[in-house]
Structure 1
Amino acid sequence: METKNNPLLCDPQTGVCEIPDSVVSSQKETIKSTDKPVKIIYFTDPICSSCWGIEPQLRRLKLEYGNDVEIEYRMGGLLPDWSYNSGGISKPSDVAHHWDEVSAYYKMPIDGDVWLEDPLSSSYPPSIAFKAAQYQDKEKAVLFMRELRELLFLRKKNITKWEFIEQAAKKSGLDTRQLKTDYEGRAKEWFQNDLELAKKMGVRGFPSVFITNEQGQSEFIYGFRPYAVYEYGIQKIYPEITKYSYPKDWQSLFKKYASLTTREYSELSDKSWEESEKELEQLADQGKLKKVISKNGPLWVKD
């Protein structure tokens, strides 16, 4: 795979989307958990397909360990623009088929046609918008990121455009006027701060997950990994951690998360893909869920 030529051609085998020409600091930054026994520093990017791939694992982690684990979202700058690749070996249209392939690999709906119909010039605008959202409300910012990704991966919307950033912000309950002010101003500096921290922590691609405790010990998980790997990392860093059981019926899961893919529902409900698909189809037929159809799989939504 040509990950060096095109950061969006992520390697499904390693589960990594690599930053082009990444330069990391020789001095690594040490981060300690402060508010909760465990802190996860998650370097991600709004248009990273492998990051979309680990949404099921992260959502389950929040349900089982959320009381003791704080997740801090940091932006990493996957695609500055297309000029890094002046040789022209890779171009936006090359990403289309690749996204369709990784969609099948991760079993998460990703429609690559956005790269043929309305290709994104950079991942920086939605990343800066996320920093502006984070300043307003950290929880709403996570919802905002989810909305942006659904717009991109399922609805083929170019999320560098303000109209779609604003749409996602409204749905997430953010103050759109304040968001635009910060997006056009100080959020750019906050985004640069994240890029600097990424260099100091040795981040070369996404997803990059650092699990830390109050003593400053840390575990690093790079790329797409199954849930058990994240769970092991947390338990290794904080052996006393309590694993909470949570209700796995569809009403409870959709009350917690308003939209779920089939893969997410399977992960959270502990049911097979086939069982999950059958149940979700029945619920949609009964009018209890809305089925949002996309080329490479549906999204299930509780209105």
Structure 2
Amino acid sequence: MNEWSANIENSYKINSKPLEIYFFIDPFCSDCWSLSPLLKKLQLEYGDYFTIKYVLCGQLSALNCKSKPDIPHFLQNKKCQEWKGISLQFSFTDEDAFTPHLAAISIKAAELQGKNAGIRFIQRLQELFFIENANITDINILRQCAKYVGLDLEEFTKDIYSTSAARAFQCDLKISAEMEVTEMPAMVFFNENIEDEGLKITGIYSYSIYVQILTEILEEYPKPAEIPPLEMFLKENPINETNDLALIYDKPVKHIERQMKKLQLQQKAKKIPAQSGNFWQYDPS
């Protein structure tokens, strides 16, 4: 059994969900940011059927590009390639303290405090970058981000400059290269049979496509869970674009606008104008 198969098998021993999704992203790429609401909706409705693992890609030049691309209307299915034994060398020093690599490594440092902590950190880091135009290559901004999502700040700061975080980032780059992930975002779906190849798709597609893929791999129609009421969702995801909430709740944009304006009148939410659209921040305090 090769190392890749062993990792997949160990993952299934830990959880009993029938599918695992490897989500390859550059967190600072606008395409990956655009996929966030689709992924949230998929997890809300079908999270009982899969676990998700975030894998960072190394194309961090996207830090210089914030334009929101058009969503393609076609689907490319590719079978995952076998590992080729490629070995990437990566090193990190204090001299990199104001580089894109620091932002990427900070994500791996956050993940050392747990999978969910890492996901919360990625989401907040993207908000800082895409909505607030913050300099997420600054260690002080990264520390603020860690504090915002409830991480142990002392551990986080220590881990950013640790070999553990650097090696975790190196491992992600190696997986991306050996899986031949050259476009982002990319998702690879694995089922319980570790002998089967994963199904890889790249780009952003309609929500129904992702549900169709789950159905085909499961060989049955998965039963969607009920999406929580809006305020309950906002408590866990306080910053959202109007269009994203409309997608998640299958409601017209005007309906969501009315709901958020009601919360605004109740002083539970405020509107945040941004280049990429109007966002709402939920704050009931």
Both structures adopt the same fold (TM-score exceeding 0.5): yes
Structure 1 residue matching 2:110: 3-state secondary structure: helix
Pick from 9, 21, 34: which aligns with 1:40?
A: 21
**1:210 corresponds to:** 188
Deviation of residue 240 (structure 1)? 3.8
Structure 1 residue matching 2:209: 3-state secondary structure: helix
Deviation of residue 291 (structure 1)? 1.9
Within-5 A mapping of 1:124-143: 124-143=101-120
**2:204 corresponds to:** 224
Matched, 1:56 2:37: yes
Within-5 A mapping of 1:274-285: 274-285=254-265
Structure 1 Cα separation of the partners of residues 100 and 183 of structure 2:
14
**Where in structure 1 are there 5+ consecutive unaligned residues?**
1-26, 83-91, 107-120
Structure 1 Cα separation of the partners of residues 275 and 24 of structure 2:
28
Matched, 1:168 2:150: no
Structure 1 residue matching 2:60: 3-state secondary structure: coil
User: Which contiguous aligned blocks of 4+ residues in structure 1 show a shift greater than 4 angstroms?
Assistant: 27-33
Deviation of residue 239 (structure 1)? 2.5
Structure 1 Cα separation of the partners of residues 161 and 277 of structure 2:
35
Letter in 1 for 2:222: T
Pick from 119, 136, 159: which aligns with 1:182?
A: 159
**In percent, how many aligned pairs have the same letter?**
30
Structure 2 Cα separation of the partners of residues 81 and 246 of structure 1:
35
Within-5 A mapping of 1:82-97: 92=64, 95=65
**2:51 corresponds to:** 70
CA contact (8 A) 1:141 1:172 kept: no
Give TM-score scaled by structure 2 length: 0.79
**Where in structure 2 are there 5+ consecutive unaligned residues?**
72-97
Letter in 2 for 1:262: T
Paired residue total: 248
Structure 2 Cα separation of the partners of residues 81 and 237 of structure 1:
32
Matched, 1:257 2:237: yes
Give TM-score scaled by structure 1 length: 0.75
Structure 2 residue matching 1:52: 3-state secondary structure: helix
